[in-house]
Amino acid sequence: MFKGFTRFLQRPGERLKTLLGSQEGPGESASPRIIAREDHPVSRKLFSDAALKVLYRLHNAGFDAYLVGGCIRDSLLGRVPKDFDVATDATPEQIRDLFRNSRIIGRRFRIVHVRFGREVIEVTTFRGRPGDDHGEHIAHQSEQGLLLRDNVWGSIGEDALRRDFTVNALYYNIADFSIHDWANGVHDIESRTLRLIGDPETRYREDPVRMLRAIRFAAKLDFRFDPKTEAPLRDMAPLLLQIPPARLFDEALKLFLAGHAVDTFHALREYGLFAMLFPEADEAMAQLPWAEPLIEQALANTDARIREERPVTPAFLFAAMLWPGVTQRMAALQNEGMPAIPALQAASQQAVTRQLQHISIPKRFSLPMRDIWDLQQRLPKRRGARALQTRDHPRFRAAYDFLLLREQAGEIEPGLGQWWTAFQQADEHEQHRLLAKAGSEAPGNSGRKRRPRKRNRRPSSTSGQRD
Ligand code: ATP
Ligand code: MG
């Protein structure tokens, strides 16, 4: 398919001028290798109309305009680009003036979002070296080397070397459709190598999220790590604790909702990064035999749904990640004599509070997550009208899937899930039979003994709320 491209890659005798003068392999170049249109397979047909519009308008206004990052990397790999990032020498204000449908966002890293219906094109001004003072725009670094702001404008060459991985420093020039390769990214694409640009320790220190990006790209692209990119990961993992929880929420979604969640999860654990994101889940996995299978299965289900283009909700994912910790806390509270229902409420609250110190979970996801947990206590109770009320709960489907997961992982005895499967498929007559059976057997009560109830049961007609 990429005959021309392969020919280009195999063209003998071509070597890059390397900035670092390294003998061992590819490094970053002071000037790019320019790959002419006829020597690469990346066609404008792969790009969205919106991306092309942005490129042409910048170009026609006299600015440089390039597509950069994932869209070029993925196109070269024969994948359909997911989104389009534009890099230009226009400042954010100049970009905003060119596009009515745009706004400047971000403080740490100011960029412009240009909106076309549901599609957003991210337009970024070339970044310079943080030490250089280019006037009003500043870069700011903490004593530990963390880049707190990165808004110094620079040349395209400087911009390229500020990017994270070599394969992400490929620029497609709308002026002549050539690709500019600043860091030998094409070579690394061909050898499927993920390599940070520059000194890995410095680059991770500047932005520890690059460690998560490394894991994400390696899993998504099925690339191996360059050894120097891999080596510092384990030791530097705790730097992730410096990252604001809101940013880690965004990263967590990219990690687990990209269709490679299981591989990503294993790699995160291997390098000690998972514990920085979900510390309680990490601890629980060492203590509860079912915790790891539960999380793994939740991630496998997520991957399968993404493959089938079915919707996935972060609420379900977070419900699974936090559940082992919730059950541990709940058991501790029950041991102190707290009844099951308030114990679950309190345990949920505590687990969420701890998690929020690492990854913020917006209410629109944390509320459904807690509904999924609450319903785990309602699913076993099927007498009278209860089964029908539970079935009609807006979060029933997610809670039922979660119950199946718990059974599969071996947290609870199987049986209840099957009953609910049958109940949902049954006609009215069959449902009555199942309800009667449930009333007489009361199986699957979370594996716990029923305690005699002290309160009188409310009549079912008024028990519209949770019990
Ligand atoms: P995808 O969009 O497929 O997840 P991407 O490579 O396009 O992958 P984005 O997050 O969209 O990733 O970022 C666009 C580009 O911006 C990257 O390719 C990279 O060049 C640069 N970039 C993004 N985040 C960082 C970072 N933390 N440090 C350095 N460069 C970054
Ligand atoms: Mg992108």
Q: Do 320 and 187 share a structural domain? A: no
Q: Do 323 and 181 share a structural domain? A: no
Q: Which residue has the tokens 């114990």?
A: 343
Closest to 202 measured CA to CA, from 174, 169, 161, 171? 161
Inter-residue contact 198 to 20 (CB < 8 Å): no
402, part of any domain: yes
467, part of any domain: no
- Report percent pLDDT > 90 for the chain: 72
Catalytic residue list = 83, 85, 164
342, part of any domain: yes
Round to whole Å and give the CA distance between 139 and 19: 23
211, part of any domain: no
198, part of any domain: no
Q: Do 305 and 164 share a structural domain? A: no
Q: Do 182 and 35 share a structural domain? A: yes
Q: Do 283 and 183 share a structural domain? A: no
Mutate to test the pocket of ligand 1, among 85, 148, 223, 255 (most ligand atoms within 8 A of CB): 85
Residues of the chain with pLDDT under 50: 1-4, 6-26, 134-137, 442-450, 452-453, 457-467
Q: Do 169 and 73 share a structural domain? A: yes
Q: What is the pLDDT of residues 391-400, one digit of tens each?
A: 888 999 999 9
This prediction's pTM? 0.86
What is the number of the ligand closest to the CA of 207? 1
Q: CB under 6 Å to ligand 1: residues?
A: 69-70, 82-83, 85, 163-164, 168, 207, 209-210
Q: How far is CA 440 from CA 70, 409, 447, in A?
A: 58, 27, 17
Q: What is the pLDDT of residues 96-124, one digit of tens each?
A: 999 999 999 987 788 999 999 999 999 99
Question: Which amino acid, one-letter code, is at 153?
Answer: W
pLDDT of residue 443: 43
CATH number, residue 152: 3.30.460.10
205, part of any domain: no
258, part of any domain: no
Residue ending a domain, among 121, 156, 191, is 191
Mean residue pLDDT across the chain: 87
Q: Do 167 and 285 share a structural domain? A: no
Round to whole Å and give the CA distance between 146 and 159: 18
Domain count, the chain: 2
Q: Do 288 and 185 share a structural domain? A: no
384: Cβ contacts below 8 Å, ≥ 6 apart? 460
256, part of any domain: no
Q: Which residue has the tokens 């629980």?
A: 284
Round to whole Å and give the CA distance between 90 and 55: 12
Q: Do 150 and 44 share a structural domain? A: yes
Which ranges of 207-260 does DSSP label H, i.e. alpha helix?
209-221, 227-230, 233-236, 245-256
Structural domain span for residue 390: 276-440
